[in-house]
Amino acid sequence: MSTVLTPDTSSEADAAAPAPPPEQPPRPRAARRRAAAAARTVLVRTAALWLLLALWESAPRLGLADRVFLPPFSEVATAWWELLADGQLFDDVRASLGRSLTGFALAVALAVPLGLLIGWYKPVADFLGPVLEVFRNTAALALLPVFVLLLGIGETSKVSLVVYACTWPVLLNTVSAVRTVDPTLLKLARSLDLPSWRLFATVVLPASVPAVFTGIRLAGAVAVLVLVAAEMVGAKAGLGFLINNAQLNFAIPQMYAGILTVSALGMAFNQLLVALERRFTSWRTA
């Protein structure tokens, strides 16, 4: 009795059949919770801002505020877009940023080394102390006529005023940072017989960085605000000129558009400095 062998084609059929698509792994619950938490945080932090904008929009329309002097936010946004479209806002922002960043950078380059010297070397502090006390209590805007008389109404006087105004927050915070270094760290470093310059570079300077950046952030806000006031005198471009010129021509929506632009630039500048501070102080969380 003979048996008939039939070829087994099941394996060939299975090989020829297309493989099923891989199943997508389910999204982890932890990721969903993080996304929900982030969205909730953004909502909480911006709720007051949205409420303020809603009040701004509704108050003039409901007669709670004079629409002539406080137009609705939508009209201000329209005026802002028109200024941006015709290039005027871009030119004014570029002029203001150029002046404020130049003055801010010069102030930081001057105030940080000087503050470190005053804070670390007592003879330098004794020599410069009286002069610094006189000028630190003199407001920058009070000296605006002096800067204009001595330097003219051009770029030099505006940049110099920003340098003067930004110097004091950076200088005073730097001096305070050096003088308030943890005494325990200094005693420990001195017990190792480190030379003075090595002690300063390895202990004092790193410990002073957070407070120095606090002064730099304060100076960043001062740079924008003081410049806007300076640009209202004898300037032909800049956000201060835009605000002042709009007020004189009774273009109230454009005036508010310039004010909002100043606020936005100040916030953006502050966030940039915060990011730099985190970068330079990352060792604190290590």
Query: What is the pLDDT, as a whole number, of residue 1?
Result: 46
pLDDT digits (tens, 9 = 90+) for 101-131: 999 999 999 999 998 888 888 888 888 888 8
Here the tokens at position 2 are: 């003979």
Question: Can you give the pTM of this predicted structure?
Answer: 0.76
| Cβ(170)–Cβ(107) below 8 Å | yes
Question: What pLDDT, on the 0 to 100 scale, is given for residue 8?
Answer: 52
Q: Please write the tens of the pLDDT for every residue from 51-89.
A: 988 998 898 888 888 888 889 999 999 999 999 898 888
Q: Exposed, middle or buried, 100 (CB in 10 Å: 0-12/13-18/19+)?
A: buried
Please write the tens of the pLDDT for every residue from 9-19. Answer: 555 545 555 55
Q: Which residues contact 3 (CB under 8 A, 6 or more apart)?
A: none
Distance CA 216, CA 280 (A): 13
Asked if 167 contacts 112 with a C-beta cutoff of 8 angstroms, the reply is: no
Note the pLDDT of residue 78. 92
- For helices 88-120 and 252-280, angle between their N-to-C axes, nearest 10 degrees: 40
